[in-house]
Amino acid sequence: MYRNFYLSGAAALALVPVCANAQDEERFDGDDEIIVTASPLERSIEETIIGTSVLKDEDLQRRIANSIGETLRREPGISSTFFGQGASRPIIRGLGGDRIRVLDAGIGSIDASATSPDHAVAVEPATAERIEIVRGTSMLLYGSSAAGGVVNVFNGRIPEERPEGGVDGALRIGRSTVDNGVEASGGFDVELGQFGDGAIVFHGDGFYRDADDYDIPGFAESARLRALEEAEEEEEDEDHEEEEEVFGTAENSAFKTKGGSAGLSWVFDNGFFGISGTAIDTDYGVPGGHGHEEGEEEEEEEGEEHEEEEGGVTINLRQRRLDLNGEIESDFALFQKAKIRIGYADYEHAEIEPSGEVGTLFTNEGWEGRLELIDKPMDAFGGQINGAVGFQFRLRDFSAVGEEAFVPPTNSDQYGVFALKELTNGPWRFEIGGRYEHTSHTVEETGFSRDFDGFSVSGGVGFKATEELFFGVNGFRTERAPSTEELFSNGPHLATDQFEVGDPTLDEEVGRGVEATARYSTDRFALSINGFYTSYKDFIYEIETGEEEDGLPVFQFLAADATFRGFEAQAEAELFRFGSFDVHGDASLDYVRATVDVTGNENLPRIPPLSGLVGLEARSEVVDLRLELEYAAEQEDTADFELPTDGYEVLNAFVTLRPFPTARGLSLQVAGYNLTDEEVRLHTSFLKDLVPLPGRNFRVSLRGEF
């Protein structure tokens, strides 16, 4: 139903609220939540062997930010690439970029976000009704780009059910102080009438957010970077013109976005079939002092005067997208259900220099589709066998044109087939699956091409010891084809102050690993622990070499054996009742250690530190109160040319008022983020020493449903 579609823009808030779990009426029944991203068989979280979670309802509303990465940043095992308010992609268990797939209702975002951390994801959090997260490899279902995990955003653009009463929807407006941000968003479903054995349902939604440069607690540059720069100047023993240091505001961090979608669906008794169109237009600044003018150094060497341009790089993003989605449940041949999803998008973004000229124009025209066929159940081996087969394709025509085009225009084709089987026998569950995938990358200008054939397999065992206790273990071997950026990059990218160099001889990356999970849940207490270990052969990573090209530091893509290991733990408990309030507590903790097998420094760059969260919440019919503390340890396991990052403790508080208990869809939320104005820097961000996350922020939002 559309009543669960709470729309929010979280006006330009980059430091998101971080409650560990939703405190809704089904708090300890969450294991029954169906998660479709982990398997075509649509199992509950309780039945999944790998780490999964779902964000929806109040939990999602508190966390929503301007980007998917910041929205999910405090989920256990997840960090973000934070590149200002406009661009932030999720990092799962230390893996990011082309290893994490961000899906829009099962189909890729079809943008350029995996190309560089300053490129935004063209999936709008404001229109999300739920977000499913799969930690660990999902290559069997979603291909090479899901080697580290999947984030699947469901927005309801194609209705799957009839709205209750013929129409339902939601509206939201909000304001934030850290950036003078404003936001408005809304959407609705309406039943237009009968058609054959079903009904035609129309969906519409829209959003708008606008924010100025955000406030920061102190200097933009970190103390470590400022000390390093001072030491270098003293060592050079030369007179330097003293530059005014940025203080109190993250310059060039303003953000504006607008968009909307319309969808039409035929909903019938055993399925649905629909189409939708979506438009997104976003303008955002790239903070951190980027925007080096090409030729500046040459002019200085020739003794010519150079007038410094004020400002920094800004990005203008545009995407137009069409989607088709359908499901039908009916016996045919060996199958009982079929699902089809097809998406097409025309994407472009321009990186605009301070002079107003377009430095680089990125375009990406892409198609993606998938077909899943669900088997009829079959009795065998004393239990029941279920399964599914599927086919997936991705076509990508990518281009970067301009003086800073660090990746040549490339066509990429990918085709994959997969099969899954599951045997359930009493408390035991056995799973096995495999995927074959063919990937081809062709450089348009030269015709140079690389083809890859990958085979991936996985198998797992789950055991439900009691009604409260579940154990599971999953092993896998995966093969990931390198991306176009890893193969063909060769040029300056001024938005990130890098000269990027790929390696066209890279081979497939092979991962072998195991993941174990344990879950315990009662009416008043829940605990889940996931542990993982993955060993990679020819792991592809990008590292600073210490050299310079065109006045920029060189970042080179390399391949070497690597190891990732770590855990996530979550706990929540119903503590006591105080008057009309039910008091709950929750906590989470996650850790990842990633090393590469090379001579010298074994640390991989931008790996998140140990982090956690503790929350206390009191809920009643009229008012909810929540106080939480988020924590990150200092990260000292750094790669070459990478500075350590200080830890932090951040305090957040929330008050939600429902003035009319009989109308729970109407609510007013007052939230305070980073109440102590702590300086927060993410070790996973390229900007960590150039600009921190936003300082103290108060946000007021009003939400209504109908």
Express each pLDDT in 617-658 by its tens digit: 999 999 999 999 999 999 999 999 999 999 999 999 999 999
Express each pLDDT in 367-389 by its tens digit: 999 999 999 999 999 899 999 99
Which residue spans within 633-675 are E strands per DSSP? Answer: 648-657, 667-673
Token digits of residue 398: 């990518």
pLDDT at 121 over 50: yes
Express each pLDDT in 449-485 by its tens digit: 999 999 999 999 999 999 999 999 999 999 999 999 9
How buried is residue 254: exposed, middle or buried, by Cβ count under 10 Å (0-12/13-18/19+)? buried
Token digits of residue 475: 């092993």
Express each pLDDT in 267-315 by its tens digit: 999 999 999 999 999 999 999 875 544 444 444 444 444 444 567 889 9
Which residue spans within 64-121 are E strands per DSSP? Answer: 78-80, 90-92, 100-104, 107-108
Using an 8 Å Cβ cutoff, are 347 and 312 in contact?
A: no
Token digits of residue 488: 């063909």
Query: What is the model's pLDDT at position 239?
Result: 57
Q: Which domains does the chain have, with CATH numbers?
A: 2-705 (2.40.170.20)
**pTM greater than 0.85 (yes/no):** yes
Which residue spans within 237-382 are E strands per DSSP? Answer: 247-249, 255-268, 271-285, 314-332, 335-352, 358-375, 378-380
Using an 8 Å Cβ cutoff, are 649 and 674 in contact?
A: no
Measured CA to CA in angstroms, residue 564 lies from 98, 539, 578, 596, 604 at distances of: 17, 11, 44, 9, 10
User: Which of these ranges, 38-42, 225-229, 275-279, 514-518, has the smallest mean pLDDT?
Assistant: 38-42
